[in-house]
């Protein structure tokens, strides 16, 4: 009995020590696939380090960073002043922000929809509920069916701030639990329109987007994100508490931002950092 | 008891006396243990309600306030502002403020100014967490008319819970319209008309429905039912209260079936035997004699089914589309109270207004299901007493 107890204790201690050597990453659902691929490649070349990546949304990740339950927070938007203030109140210092890669949001419609391009003011009118019929934007006569993300999603907030200028989404927007679900719904709905990362954009049509009415509409693709012409682009971030940003965690973030880590970004379908921002 | 000779009585019981008390002691102990276990269930319910209620209390009492009419304080003014005013401005207690060093305070003041600069919307001067704002429509900045708006993540968070209540009621109503006729009909058939062999197959199969995980049912509704029903009825929105309600109905049918079947079976056989002896047909007996006698039980089944439907989460989260619309049509998307809590609670700031209002929704749901269960139980109990007393 005593021996068994000792064994259990030893195993338990072992679990605790390995846990201490591991890095936890939590946050943006948009970054989960990327984060997991990074972790997978990193762990292969750095045996002994474990990286655990979970999603939940940028808001969840930031809440976890504040509560101290994660080492690194993945966020698909920058932290708000009020969130930084909460962090400062708890840790007496600002969190460290790292730009990890570039992402572009694309707007999806059903493949059968003849509309190929929209400008910002049209997108704004559609997603705030002022335009409710496709014929108002050069499409067929039929209702617009809006799909979006839950309000915990960084994608939701980025689209709201960047495209809707902070206006509220129409109440009729059906909220889906992930970008994959948005695509699935739009693919099954002839009048559907939704938004999400380019990395997920298979099975539906990606719209060309222009900033103003007269501008040329730009196709969302790697080239146009790099040269800065595609209008709906954003950085994806990592946030870390300065006290945690040492040893294994710091090595991991540096590796992700190196050429090696940025090669993974390309594989997943996001856009690597410009050369001068890499480590 | 037969009196035995005094000598024998003294010898034998001494040997025996040790055993029975030990057994009784074990029994006593077991009984207490079970009593404690059952007591802990009551304690759990009370604790959960106390916890949910405590988190929601500031909103219920109207003590939360998110109105922002402050003018920014410049970094250079920090030393001139009285500490209690500065603490209030930064949203901390004076004691907390004292524990900060100068650099921290400076950073906080800078961040606060940045935050205030972003809020040029005149609606920020309202306390949107008040009861008024939660129940009455209001014409927000940028809207054409007064509306019920649930937009908890916004420059001006809008916490109107009317769309959520309507969403919950819509999905529940559809579920009851589907499940009450089916559940009660099946119960009448199984308890009154079916042959014993048929009954033995149908009853467990219907009860098996309650064993399907609701996430599986929700997934089925999302992928299969939504498209099929849209093709059949030709409505515009693929995910809506109708689809969610029908899937929800499948979870409610076993509840209604089991309880109504119980009530119908508890009607004394003398009732139906008398009617049959007078020449009534079997279905006449079931419809005109047994069902009226068991009606309170069937009503209780429907009430409990309502409680089950309004508390169900996963099915509606997946199949209802979750749009916060106020509309009477069941073919529009809807967002229920439960789905809102499930989708939003994970990301809110603990102790924030959004968090407290989600707990308020939870408390409301708890009260509703508690009341429906209570009514259901009381009615079923009374019916049993009534029927057994007469029979």
Question: pLDDT of B134-163, one tens digit each?
Answer: 999 988 887 888 889 998 888 788 999 999
Residue A7: inside a domain = no
Residues A109 and A215 occupy one common structural domain: yes
**One domain for residues A153 and A134:** yes
Query: Domain range spanning residue A191?
Result: 103-226
Q: Name the band, by pLDDT with cuts 50, 70 and 90, for residue A20.
A: very low
Residue B285 — pLDDT band, cuts 50, 70, 90?
very high
pLDDT for position A246: 87
Cα(B347)–Cα(B334) distance, integer angstroms = 21
Contact A158, A178 (CB under 8 A): no
Min Cα distance A97 → chain B (Å) is 16
B35/B43 Cα distance (integer angstroms): 12
Residue keyed to tokens 């809506």: B240
User: Which has the higher per-residue pLDDT, A152 or A47?
Assistant: A47
Asked if B354 and B152 count as a contact pair (C-beta separation under 8 A), the reply is yes
Q: Is the same domain home to A84 and A112?
A: no
Contact between A88 and B343 using a beta-carbon 8 Å cutoff: no
Estimate the crossing angle of helix B291-311 against helix B241-265, to 10 degrees.
140
Assess if residue A54 is contained within a domain: yes
Q: Do A174 and B112 touch (CB under 8 A)?
A: no
Q: Which of B70, B87, B111 to mutate to test the interface with A (most CBs of A within 10 A)?
A: B111
Residue B8 has a pLDDT of: 45
Q: Assess if residue A232 is contained within a domain.
A: no
Give the closest of A82, A143, A175 to B323, CB-based. Answer: A175
Burial of B338 by CB count in 10 Å (0-12 exposed, 13-18 middle, 19+ buried)? buried
Rounded average pLDDT over B334-338: 94
**Tally of structural domains, chain A:** 2
Q: What is the pLDDT of residue B1?
A: 42
Interface of B with A in 89-108 (CB under 8 A): 90-92, 96, 100-101, 104, 107-108
Q: Which residues of A touch B226 (CB under 8 A)?
A: 188
CB-nearest partner of B149 from A80, A168, A175: A168
Do A174 and B323 make contact, defined as CB atoms within 8 angstroms?
Answer: yes
Q: What is the pLDDT of residue A155?
A: 83
Distance of CA A261 to the CA centre of its chain: 17
Is residue A12 in a domain? no
Average pLDDT over residues B19-25: 69
Any CB–CB contact under 8 A between B70 and chain A?
no
Alpha-carbon distance B325 to nearest alpha carbon in chain A (angstroms): 5
What pLDDT score does B121 carry?
72
A109 and A199 co-located in one domain? yes
* pLDDT value of position A1: 46
- What value does the mean pLDDT take over residues A255-276? 87
Record: contact A92-B348, CB cut-off 8 A: no
- B228 → chain A, closest CA residue: A188
Q: What is the 3-state secondary structure (H, E, C) of B295-350?
A: HHHHHHHHHHHHHHHHHCCHHHHHHCECCCCCCCCCCCCECCHHHHHHHHHHHCCC
Look at residue A173 and tell me whether its pLDDT is greater than 50: yes
Is residue B20 scored above 70 in pLDDT? Answer: no
Q: Is the pLDDT of residue B194 over 80?
A: yes
**Considering CB atoms only, which of B101, B114, B324 is closest to A171?**
B324
Segment A255-277 mean pLDDT:
87
| Residue A3 pLDDT exceeds 80 | no
Residue A7: predicted pLDDT: 47
pLDDT at position A207: 92
> What are the pLDDT digits (tens) for A41-75?
999 998 889 999 998 888 889 989 988 889 999 99
pLDDT grade for B3, boundaries at 50, 70 and 90: very low
d(CA A111, CA A191): 10
Rounded to the nearest integer, the mean pLDDT of chain B is: 86
What mean pLDDT is predicted for residues B231-256? Answer: 92
Pairing of strands A192-197, A96-109: antiparallel
Check whether B40 has a pLDDT greater than 50. Answer: yes
Average pLDDT, stretch B265-292?
A: 91
Return the pLDDT at B202: 92
pLDDT more than 70, % of chain B: 92
What is the rounded distance in angstroms from the CA atom of residue B135 to the CA atom of residue B63?
17
pLDDT at A80: 87
Cβ neighbors of B154 (< 8 A, separation 6 or more) are A166, A168
What's the half-sphere exposure (Cβ side, CA atoms, 13 Å) at B81?
21
The rounded mean pLDDT for chain A is: 85
- Least confident range from A36-40, B76-80, B330-334: namely B76-80
Domain check: are A75 and A146 in the same one? no
**Which of A82, A143, A151 shows the shortest C-beta gap to B344?**
A151
Domain membership of residue A247 (yes or no) is: yes
Residues A131 and A117 in one domain: yes
Structure tokens at A236: 């994806």
CA distances to A150, A212, A246 from A127, rounded to whole Å, are: 14, 17, 43
Length of chain B in residues, anyone?
391
Option in A80, A157, A174 nearest B239 (CB): A174
Contacts of B11 (CB under 8 A, 6+ apart): none
Cα B357 to Cα B339: distance, rounded to the nearest angstrom: 14
Answer whether A150 sits within 8 Å of B239, measured CB to CB. Answer: no
Summarize pLDDT for A96-138 with one digit per residue, the tens.
Answer: 999 999 888 889 999 999 999 999 999 999 999 999 999 999 8
Say if residue B244's pLDDT is above 50: yes
Whose CA is closest to B322, among B342, B303, B304?
B342
Residue among B108, B343, B347 minimizing CB distance to A88: B108
Cβ neighbours of B261 (radius 10 Å): 27
Chain A CB contacts of B149 under 8 Å are 168, 171
Q: Are strands A96-109 and A233-240 parallel, antiparallel or unpaired?
A: antiparallel
**Which among B107, B163, B227 has the least Cβ separation from residue A171?**
B163
Would you say the pTM of this structure is higher than 0.90?
A: no
Q: Do A63 and B158 touch (CB under 8 A)?
A: no
Mutate to test the interface with B, among A55, A81, A242 (most CBs of B within 10 A): A81
Nearest residue in B to A92, CA atom: B104
Please give the Cα distance from A224 to A202 (Å, whole number). 18
- Report B:236-275 residues touching A (Cβ under 8 A): 236-239
> Considering the domain boundaries, does residue A11 fall inside one?
no
Question: Strand A72-75 relative to strand A145-149: parallel, antiparallel, unpaired?
Answer: unpaired
CA distance A208 to chain B (A): 25
Which residue in the set B155, B226, B325 is minimally distant from A166, CB to CB? B155
- Is A4 part of a structural domain of the chain? no
Whether A83 is covered by a domain: the verdict is: yes
**A144 and A156 part of one domain:** yes
Average pLDDT over residues A166-188: 88
Residue B391 has pLDDT above 50, yes or no: no
Residue B323 to residue A167, Cβ atoms within 8 A:
no
Q: Give the integer Cα–Cα distance in Å for B197 and B188.
A: 16
Q: What is the pLDDT of residue A12?
A: 46
Which helix (DSSP H) or strand (DSSP E) does residue B40 occupy? Answer: helix B19-60
Strand pairing partners for A96? Answer: A240
* Minimum distance, in Å, between the CA of residue A114 and any CA atom of chain B: 19
- Answer yes or no: do B236 and A143 touch at CB < 8 A: yes
CB contact under 8 A, A172 and B325: yes
**What count of CB pairs under 8 Å joins A to B?**
111
B275 CB-near residues (< 8 Å, 6+ apart): B284, B285, B288, B289
Assign domain B162-390 to its CATH architecture.
Orthogonal Bundle (1.10)
Q: What's the pLDDT tens digit per position in A204-244?
A: 899 999 988 888 899 888 788 888 789 888 889 999 999 88
CATH number at residue A85: 3.40.190.10
Which letter, b or e, does each residue of B49-74 get, where b requires 16 or more Cβ atoms within 10 Å of its Cβ? eeebbebbebbeeeebebeeeeeebe
């Amino acid at each position: 009995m005593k021996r068994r107890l000792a064994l259990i204790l030893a195993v338990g201690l072992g679990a605790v020590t390995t846990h201490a050597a591991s890095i936890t990453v939590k946050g943006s659902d948009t970054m989960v696939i990327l984060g997991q691929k990074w972790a997978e490649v990193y762990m292969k070349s750095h045996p002994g380090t474990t990286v655990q990546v979970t999603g939940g949304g940028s808001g969840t990740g930031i809440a976890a960073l504040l509560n101290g339950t994660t080492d690194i927070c993945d966020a698909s938007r920058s932290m708000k002043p009020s969130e930084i203030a909460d962090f400062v109140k708890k840790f007496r210092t600002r969190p460290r922000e790292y730009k990890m890669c570039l992402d572009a949001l694309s707007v999806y419609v059903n493949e059968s929809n003849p509309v190929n391009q929209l400008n910002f003011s049209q997108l704004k009118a559609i997603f705030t509920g002022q335009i409710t019929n496709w014929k108002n934007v050069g499409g067929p006569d039929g209702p617009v069916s809006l799909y979006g993300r839950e309000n915990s999603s960084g994608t939701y907030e980025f689209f709201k701030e960047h495209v809707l200028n902070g206006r509220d989404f129409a109440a009729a927007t059906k909220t889906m639990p992930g970008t994959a679900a948005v695509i699935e719904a739009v693919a099954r709905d002839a009048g559907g329109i939704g938004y999400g990362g380019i990395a997920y954009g298979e099975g539906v049509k990606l719209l060309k987007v222009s900033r103003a009415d007269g501008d040329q509409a730009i196709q969302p693709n790697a080239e146009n994100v790099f040269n800065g012409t595609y209008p709906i682009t954003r950085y994806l971030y990592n946030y870390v508490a300065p006290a945690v940003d040492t040893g294994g965690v710091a090595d991991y973030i540096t590796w992700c931002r190196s050429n090696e880590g940025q090669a993974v970004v390309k594989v997943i379908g996001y856009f690597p950092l410009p050369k001068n921002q890499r480590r | 008891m037969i009196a035995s000779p005094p000598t024998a009585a003294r010898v034998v019981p001494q040997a025996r006396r040790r055993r029975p008390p030990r057994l009784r002691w074990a029994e006593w102990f077991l009984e207490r243990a079970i009593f404690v276990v059952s007591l802990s269930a009551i304690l759990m319910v009370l604790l959960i309600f106390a916890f949910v209620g405590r988190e929601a209390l500031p909103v219920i009492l109207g003590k939360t306030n998110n109105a922002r009419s402050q003018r920014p304080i410049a970094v250079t003014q920090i030393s001139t502002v009285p500490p209690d005013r500065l603490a209030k401005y930064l949203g901390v207690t004076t004691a907390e403020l004292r524990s900060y060093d100068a650099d921290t305070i400076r950073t906080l003041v800078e961040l606060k100014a940045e935050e205030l600069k972003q809020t040029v919307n005149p609606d920020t001067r309202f306390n949107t967490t008040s009861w008024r704002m939660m129940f009455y429509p209001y014409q927000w900045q940028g809207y054409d008319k007064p509306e019920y708006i649930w937009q908890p993540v916004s420059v001006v968070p809008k916490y109107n819970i009317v769309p959520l209540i309507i969403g919950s009621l819509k999905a529940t109503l559809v579920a009851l319209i589907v499940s009450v006729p089916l559940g009660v009909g099946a119960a009448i058939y199984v308890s009154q008309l079916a042959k014993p062999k048929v009954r033995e197959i149908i009853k467990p199969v219907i009860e098996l429905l309650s064993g399907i995980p609701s996430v599986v049912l929700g997934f089925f509704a999302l992928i299969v039912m939504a498209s099929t029903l849209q093709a059949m009825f030709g409505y515009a929105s693929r995910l809506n209260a109708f689809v969610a309600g029908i899937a929800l109905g499948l979870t409610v049918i076993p509840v209604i079936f089991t309880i109504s079947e119980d009530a119908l079976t508890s009607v004394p056989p003398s009732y139906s035997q008398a009617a049959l002896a007078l020449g009534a047909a079997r279905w006449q007996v079931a419809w005109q004699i047994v069902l009226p006698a068991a009606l309170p039980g069937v009503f209780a089944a429907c009430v409990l089914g309502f409680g089950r439907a309004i508390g169900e989460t996963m099915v509606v989260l997946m199949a209802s589309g979750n749009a916060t619309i106020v509309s009477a049509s069941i073919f529009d998307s809807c967002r229920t109270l439960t789905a809102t809590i499930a989708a939003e609670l994970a990301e809110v700031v603990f102790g924030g207004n959004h968090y407290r209002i989600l707990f308020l929704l939870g408390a409301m749901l708890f009260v509703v299901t508690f009341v429906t269960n209570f009514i259901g139980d009381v009615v079923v109990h009374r019916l049993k007493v009534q029927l057994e007393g007469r029979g």
